[in-house]
Amino acid sequence: PNALVFLEHRNGVLDSSSLSALTAATQLGGQVTGLILSGPESSATAIENASKLKGLNKLIHSTADTYKSPVVEAVTPLLKQVLSDSTYTHVVSATSSFAKSLLPRVAALLDAPQISDITSVEHDASSNATTFTRPIYAGNAIATVKASSSIPIKFFTVRSTSFAAALSADVAEASLETLEPVSAGDVPTEHLKTSLTKSDRPELGTASRIVSGGRPLKDAKTFEDTLYPLADVLGAAVGASRAAVDAGYADNSLQVGQTGKVVAPELYMAFGISGAIQHLAGMKDSKLIVAVNKDPEAPIFQIADVGLVGDLYQVIPELTEKLKASK
Amino acid sequence: MRPTSARFLNILVPVKRAVDYAVKIRVNSQQTGVDLNVKHSMNPFDEIAVEEAVRIRERIKDEVKSIRAVTIGPSKSLDTLRTALAMGADSAIHVEVPESAPAPEPLGVAKTIRALVEKNKEIDLIILGKQAIDDDAGQTGQMLAGLLGWSQATFASKVDVDTKNNVVTVLREIDGGSEEIKCKLPLVITTDLRLNEPRYASLPNIMKAKKKPVEKLKPEDLGVDLTPMLETIKVAEPPKRVGGGKVESVEELVGKLKDAGFTAV
């Protein structure tokens, strides 16, 4: 196998979900090439960081102003060209919002299907077939899917919680190749602006501890005033249920669930979250689940390791104080 | 050269019949799939897509010339089309596949819709859900945009159509925040959760929907082959999580956290 991994970064710092995608690619058991795109400002850092990644045999990089905040229409021709002139057998990426938008577009142009959000991968070199597992129905069933040798290039996106992040070496190990940007002609889509939610807390997708809140948190201010002190004491990221996001208490980037972020931290604490299947889909692989809810019948208690029936407005302040005191 | 007049939009909304979001999923005993003998409804993201098409018409009125829904599925999928018609679509297309046929893959669906667009050349805006809640693949819109060579706006949370300039400004939900892009028509949009809240069809509209036209086609009529390219070897239950542990007080909870190595940082 000869895999191409699409590596994403922010200002040259690789996304940890891309590092998980790289790990999945190495499990195919063959050559692994990384592809990294960047604007001129961050290309040196991006290349330096990426070329040190363990498991990467080769790194292809391309720099252009249009790759700084790219639209998929501008990147598609480049990826198509890389794949047309080569012997790649697999195209791998994180299940990130950009790669989710890009990979299916490119796959369709090469008449290839895609396997989304895989949780395991196994390649059989003798039959040139790759077998994947992936959650379906919000994780209520696990499908085992085989892409046989009749599919020459196998596209898949990787669920980052199922693969450890690839490590970095001290010095560059991968060989480097520079690729001229490929003109996409008259691109029909223009990037206007990106607004990222600023936070000093750990990032939700990679945090080892998460404190999450639901609808009983009333409004945005109460959500913050109640959850943030506890999150700070624990050094935790903050998450939210769909109900809390829909009601405007929390930013959409904090949503945990089938259609939001899928997380699997060491500790997941759910406050005032009843446990709809769509929410459980996003957090049930967490190591220790703590649930606090007024309703003793809330479904979240069925999967929680530690449940406490109670009013979160009493529990959270007391918990925060007791944790501080027992430090 | 003639000045370009304001564009009249013809909107296509692909919808999927899926197991209802509230149904508890059960894997069948042969481990070949899940029990489908349960309540089905329109994929929730597609409902948002239909709603958005109708709201665009409510905003720009006559500049929307038509809203057409399409589904690919067995005869029962007609119910899903009727729902779309009751919500406000004008007409529908049912690409019917046999009950026994395997579920088409996103690429097959995208090729089918491309064939429809090539047949109905006036279509210039396609709105569909960002994913279906059954296979959770999230590919069809992007594949379709690629095959058509159109602009794409995935995970839309706000859509602003400007028919004077033939552009659509879309706010998208991305990792860690949001992004705004400007797309030239023709365009494929995939809907995210917070784009709108779909309406319930009123009884009079449900009655009216029964009289709206539904064109029936077969995949062969469109020259597409929906045979899956991937092989599903097995569908299994996920590992069961054993929960149900309870504590009676915050004191006890702190103890449990401490035992597991979680203390203040």
B180 min Cα distance to partner chain A (Å): 5
Locus of tokens 């008449």: A111
Q: Which residue range is the domain that position A87 belongs to?
A: 2-178
Q: Report the alpha-carbon distance of residue A34 to residue B254 in Å, rounded.
A: 45
Please state, in angstroms and rounded to a whole number, the distance separating the CA atoms of residues A102 and B176. Answer: 18
Among all chains, which residue has been given the structure tokens 């005191």?
A: A325
Residue in chain B closest to A312 (alpha carbons) equals: B250
DSSP state of A53: B
Q: Determine the 3-state secondary structure of A309 from DSSP.
A: strand
Q: What rounded mean pLDDT belongs to chain B? A: 95
Are A233 and A153 in the same domain? Answer: no
Task: Find out whether B115 and B3 touch, Cβ atoms under 8 Å.
Answer: no
Cβ-Cβ contacts under 8 Å, A205 against chain B: 175
Residue-wise pLDDT for B209-233, tens only, equals 999 999 999 999 999 999 999 999 9
CA–CA distances in Å: residue A55 to residues A16, A22, A122, A168: 15, 8, 17, 9
Q: Out of B139, B238, B241, name the one closest to residue A140 (CB).
A: B238
Q: Which residues between 218 and 247 in chain B have a beta carbon less than 8 angstroms from any beta carbon of chain A? A: 229-238, 241, 243-247
Q: Which domain CATH number covers A31?
A: 3.40.50.620
- Interface contact flag, B238 A135, Cβ < 8 Å: yes
B-chain residues near A319 (CB < 8 A): 250, 253-254
Q: Return the closest-CA partner of residue B211 out of B94, B96, B42, B90.
A: B90
How far is CA A240 from each of CA A199, A274, A319, B225, rounded to the nearest angstrom? 15, 12, 19, 42
> Span B83-103, mean pLDDT?
97
DSSP state of B31: S
Given a cut of 50, is residue B1 above it in pLDDT? no
Could you report how far apart the first and last alpha carbons of chain A are, in Å? Answer: 51
B78 with B56: CB under 8 angstroms? no
Place of tokens 């790289």: A22
Q: Does B23 touch chain A (CB under 8 A)?
A: no
- For A199, name the nearest residue in chain B, comparing CA atoms only: B176
Where would I find the beta strands (DSSP E) of chain A? 2-7, 9-10, 13-14, 31-38, 58-63, 90-94, 114-118, 120-124, 129-136, 141-147, 154-158, 175-178, 189-196, 209-213, 237-240, 267-271, 288-293, 306-309
One domain, residues A128 and A7: yes
Q: Specify whether A160 is located in the same domain as A217.
A: no
Tokens 């009529």 map to which residue? B221
Residues found in chain B: 265
Residue B56 sits in which domain range? 9-236
Q: Hey, are the CB atoms on B243 and A319 less than 8 Å from each other? A: no
Least CB–CB distance from A146: residue in B110, B233, B265:
B233
Give the pLDDT of chain A (327 residues) as one tens digit per residue.
Answer: 999 999 999 999 999 999 999 999 999 999 999 999 999 999 999 999 999 999 999 999 999 999 999 999 999 999 999 999 789 999 999 999 999 999 999 999 999 999 999 999 999 999 999 999 999 999 999 999 999 999 999 999 999 999 999 999 999 889 999 999 999 889 999 999 999 987 788 889 889 999 999 999 999 999 999 999 999 999 999 999 999 999 999 998 999 998 889 999 999 999 999 999 999 999 999 999 999 999 999 999 999 999 999 999 999 999 999 999 986
Among B107, B136, B231, the residue with its CB nearest the CB of A116 is: B136
Q: In CATH, what number is assigned to the domain containing residue A276?
A: 3.40.50.1220
pLDDT for residue A260: 87
**A145: closest CA among A164, A169, A129, A165?**
A129
Q: Which residues of B33-57 are buried (b: 16+ CB within 10 A; e: fewer)?
A: bbeeeeebbbbbbbbbbbbbbbbbb
Contact at 8 Å (CB) between A150 and B229?
yes
User: Using CA atoms, how far apart are residues A69 and B7, in angstroms rounded to an integer?
Assistant: 30
Supply the pLDDT for residue A14.
97
Host H or E run for residue B92:
strand B91-96
Contact call for B243 and A302, based on CB within 8 A: yes
Pair A62, A78: CB distance under 8 Å: yes
Residue B3 has pLDDT above 60, yes or no: no
In a domain, residue B263? The reply is no
**Would residue A317 count as lying in a domain?**
yes
pLDDT value, residue A242: 94
Instruction: Examine the pLDDT at B67 and tell me if it is beyond 90.
Output: yes
Q: What's the domain count of chain A?
A: 2
A-B contacts at Cβ under 8 angstroms? 258
pLDDT of B2 over the 90 cut? no
Q: Do residues A257 and A281 lie in contact, with contact meaning Cβ atoms separated by under 8 Å? A: yes
- The DSSP code for B186 is S
Cβ–Cβ of B263/A140 closer than 8 Å? no
Helix axis angle for B250-259 and A312-325, nearest 10°, is 50
Residue A79 lies in a domain: yes
Both A125 and A226 in one domain: the answer is no
Q: Chain A residue closest to B246 (CA)?
A: A307
Partner-chain contact A307 B243, CB within 8 Å? yes
Question: pLDDT grade, residue B5 (50/70/90)?
Answer: low
- Same structural domain for residues A42 and A121? yes
User: What is the nearest CA distance from A51 to chain B, expressed in angstroms?
Assistant: 24
Interface of B with A in 200-219 (CB under 8 A): none
Which residues 49-78 of chain B have a CB within 8 Å of chain A? none
Nearest to A104 by CA among B142, B130, B111, B150: B142
Number of domains in chain B: 1
Of B134, B187, B140, residue with least CA distance to A100: B140
Angle, nearest 10°, between helix axes A72-84 and A97-109? 50
Amino acid at A153: I
DSSP B227-260: --SSEEEEEEPPPPP----EESSHHHHHHHHHHT
In a domain, B21, yes or no: yes
Are A162 and A255 contained in the same domain?
A: no
The ipTM (two decimal places) reads: 0.95
Q: Based on the fold, state whether residues A77 and A116 are members of the same structural domain.
A: yes
Distance (Å) from the alpha carbon of B92 to chain A's nearest alpha carbon = 25
pLDDT at B55 over 60: yes
Strand order in the sheet with B151-162: A189-196, B177-184, B167-174, B151-162, B187-191, B125-129, B9-14, B64-73, B91-96, B214-217
Same domain, A146 and A10: yes
Angle, CA A111 vertex, CA B186 and CA A137 arms, to 5°: 85
Rounded CA-CA distance B108/B86 in Å is 27
Final residue before a domain boundary, out of A162, A178, A194:
A178
Eight-state DSSP code of residue B95: E
Let me know: does B63 contact B163? Beta carbons within 8 Å: yes
Residue in this structure with the two tokens 């077969």, named with its chain if needed: B218
Q: Which helix (H) or strand (E) holds B14?
A: strand B9-14
- Using the Cβ of B28 and the Cβ atoms of chain A, whether some distance falls under 8 Å is answered with no
pLDDT in tens, B230-259: 999 999 999 888 898 999 999 999 999 999
Write the pLDDT tens digit of every residue in B114-149: 999 999 999 999 999 999 999 999 999 999 999 999
Closest-CA residue of chain A to B44: A259
Of B25, B184, B235, the CB nearest to A188: B184
What are B81's two structure tokens?
A: 């089309």
How close B219 comes to chain A (CA, Å)? 18
Q: Which residue among A97, A104, A109 places its CB closest to the CB of B175?
A: A97
Interface of B with A in 77-106 (CB under 8 A): 105-106
B174 → closest Cβ in A97, A290, A306: A97
Contact flag A141-B133 (C-beta cutoff 8 Å): no
Q: Which residues of B116-144 are buried (b: 16+ CB within 10 A; e: fewer)?
A: bbeeeeebbbbbbbbbbbbbbbbbbbbbb
Tokens of A118: 């895989």
Q: Which residue has the higher pLDDT, A206 or B155?
A: B155
Same domain for A280 and A221: yes
Q: In CATH, what number is assigned to the domain containing residue B50? A: 3.40.50.620
Pairing of strands A2-7, B9-14: unpaired
Question: What token pair was written down for B132?
Answer: 């279906």
User: CA Rg, chain B, in Å?
Assistant: 22
Q: Are B43 and B108 in contact (CB under 8 A)?
A: no
CA A161/CA A145 separation, integer angstroms:
19
Out of A289, A304, A323, the one facing B264 most closely (by C-beta) is A323
Q: Are A71 and A189 in contact (CB under 8 A)?
A: yes
Beta-carbon separation of B177 and A196 below 8 A:
yes
Residue A75 in any domain: the answer is: yes
Boundary-marking domain end, from A178, A201, A218: A178
| The total number of residues written for chain A in this structure | 327
Evaluate whether residue B57 is within a structural domain: yes
Compare all CA atoms of chain A with the CA of B143 and give the residue at the minimum distance: A105
Residue B159 lies in a domain: yes
Alpha carbon distance B235, B245 (integer Å): 29
Which of A103, A108, A323 is nearest residue B254 as measured by Cβ atoms? A323
